[in-house]
Structure formats: structure tokens, C-alpha cells
Structure 1
Amino acid sequence: MAENDTPVQPRLQVVSQFIRDLSFENVAAQKSLNASEAKPEITVNVGLDAGKIGDDLYEVKMKVNIDATAEGNKIFVLEMEYAGRFVVQNVPEAQLHPFLLIECPRMIFPYVRRIIGDITRDGGYPPLNVDNIDFVNLYRQEVERRRAAQVEGPTSIS
């Protein structure tokens, strides 16, 4: 193998990251519920999207929805869309989609986690430390969900 035949390594560079949209609703405080004594049940849902916005420039969006309930009462709702813009080079086209939806979210997730902790603390609750997310598994689940939807085909109501 000649020196010029060495494979070119993929390049990933974070250009910017930012909150696109953020909403925190302290339902318990609005309804005068005493939520501090109850242990809440927390549901975290994460969605990902990616798109090309320029030459080698991509935007990856992470949508996080968090619901906290206790004793059948909603305590708070947090919805956030966080985006990162990345320069991605030397990634084969066939591997680009999983690369964008696995590697890029891994880069921005620590910032998303910190913001969620800050918002919940500033909202009057203990800071919520969201568990690590397995982005490979999340990607696989989405691929399977889409595959199953294609197999089922469109449904019609008569």
C-alpha cells in the first residue's frame, strides 16, 4: 500500500450550537400543588433530525420533551429544541445519515443535559440530570419504526 492510499479520516467540527426553542411550564406552581413532597415520575422523549445547510455544513436538531408527574398530577413540562451546526467531511454518503444522527448528538448532549438541569433547578425543583442516551440504539429504533411503517403501508378509514 502506498502512502497516498491511506484512508482519509472523517472530520467533524462543531461550528455552533444553540437553543432553537425552549418552554418550561411549572404546572404544580400554577395549580398551587405541593410537588416538593412527592417523588415524581419523569418521562423523557428525544427526537432527532438532520439536514444539509451548505457545503459540508449540516444542522442537527435534538428535540427533548420531559413530563414530570406525581400522584396523577402533572408537575412540570419541559420542551426544548437544541441545534448544532457541524462541518462534516470525508464521510461516505451511505454512512452520512447515521453519522449525523449518532455522532453529532453525542457532541451536543452534554450541553443539553446541563441546560435541562439549570432550567429545572431555576423552575423550583432539584436539577434533573438526564441519563446518558444511547444514540446508536435510538437510531436503530427509528430505522425499525420506519421500516415497520413501510411494511404496514398506509391505512385508510372507511
Structure 2
Amino acid sequence: MAETNGAADQQQAPQVKMQILAQFIRDLSFENILAQKGVSGEVTPDVQVQVNLDAKKRPTEHQYEVVVKTQITSKAKDGGETLFIMELEYAGIFHIENVPDEQMHPFLLIECPRMLFPFLRRIVSDVSRDGGFPPLNLENIDFMALYRAEISKRMEAEKAAAPAN
């Protein structure tokens, strides 16, 4: 009986270790177009948010850099004039161990951005407020859905590029 438990313990996967070593703004741009044009009065904004993710292995063992790239455009609902444009690249350096190779790609593009998002959200809120607008509080981003959409887009592109037999 003891041997069976010992064999089961050996087959159990090692615990995943993840630690955020650093997080930082890699690039930030905020352009208040409304103030430049001198437009005044009440404006109802229509906010568009685009998110892209990037991950790469660093030279140090078990270290990865993950970047969440956001482009936010706020336009007036009625006239369509651009109010402001914000581009933010927020990066994190992660130490990750015991994630199987076949699961590393989704781990880097789902779990790591999930850890960075609250900080990115705060920066967007602060910068939009400091830029002369009400604080913009981003909705939660479903990084799993984002990942799945990117994978299916790549598969469609591969099918289109493959020669028909």
C-alpha cells in the first residue's frame, strides 16, 4: 500500500512557481486632441480599446518578459471627433518554473497579463484624469478569449496560405 502512494506522489506534477520580478511602463503616449482643437462643451465619449500581447524568453533561466500593449481612442459619440489617444505598453518580468513547455505559451499570454492588468488599469485611469478627462476605468479583459481568438486567427491564416490539393 505504501508503494502505491509513493508512486502516485512521484507522478504528481511539481508545483508551478511564478514570481513577478519587475513591472514597468515601457512606453506611454497620451495626446489630448480635444484641448488642442479648443473644443468646449459637454461631450459623450465613445471609447475603443485595442489590446495586443507580446512575450519572450529572457537570457536568464526561467525568466520571461510579457508586454500588454493597449491603444485607447476616445471619440465624441455625436460628432466623431477624436478626444484623446493613449498608447501604453506595460511590461512585467516573470520568473516561472515547472510549467510544461506545451503550456508555456498560453501561460505567458493569459496568466501573466492577468497579473499585470490591475496596474495597467490604474495607470490608464490616472493618465486620462491627469490629461483633463474623467478617469477611464477599463473593463476587465478576458485574456483567455483574446488568446483563443489569436490562435484561431493564426489557424485561419495558415489554412488560407496552405496550397489547395
SS at match of 1:145: helix
SS at match of 2:140: coil
Normalising by structure 2, we get a TM-score of: 0.90
Report the RMSD for the aligned CA atoms in angstroms: 1.2
Partner of 1:63 in structure 2?
69
In structure 2, stretches of 5+ residues that fail to align are none
SS at match of 2:49: strand
Cα distance in 2 for residues equivalent to 1:66 and 1:41: 10
Partner of 2:123 in structure 1?
115
1:136 aligns with 2:158: no
In structure 1, stretches of 5+ residues that fail to align are none
Partner of 2:135 in structure 1?
127
1:75 aligns with 2:75: no
Cα distance in 2 for residues equivalent to 1:5 and 1:145: 36
Cα distance in 1 for residues equivalent to 2:155 and 2:63: 28
SS at match of 1:65: strand
Which among 25, 32, 36 is matched to residue 31 of structure 2?
25
Q: How many correspondences in the alignment?
A: 153
**Structure 1 residues 30 and 153 mapped into 2: Cα distance closer, same or farther (>3 Å)?**
same
Q: Partner amino acid for 1:47? A: N
Partner of 1:39 in structure 2?
44
1:146 aligns with 2:154: yes
Structure of larger gyration radius: 2
Normalising by structure 1, we get a TM-score of: 0.94
1:50 aligns with 2:55: yes
Tell me by how many angstroms 1:12 deviates.
Answer: 0.8
Cα distance in 2 for residues equivalent to 1:40 and 1:93: 44
Cα distance in 1 for residues equivalent to 2:19 and 2:35: 42
Cα distance in 2 for residues equivalent to 1:147 and 1:123: 40
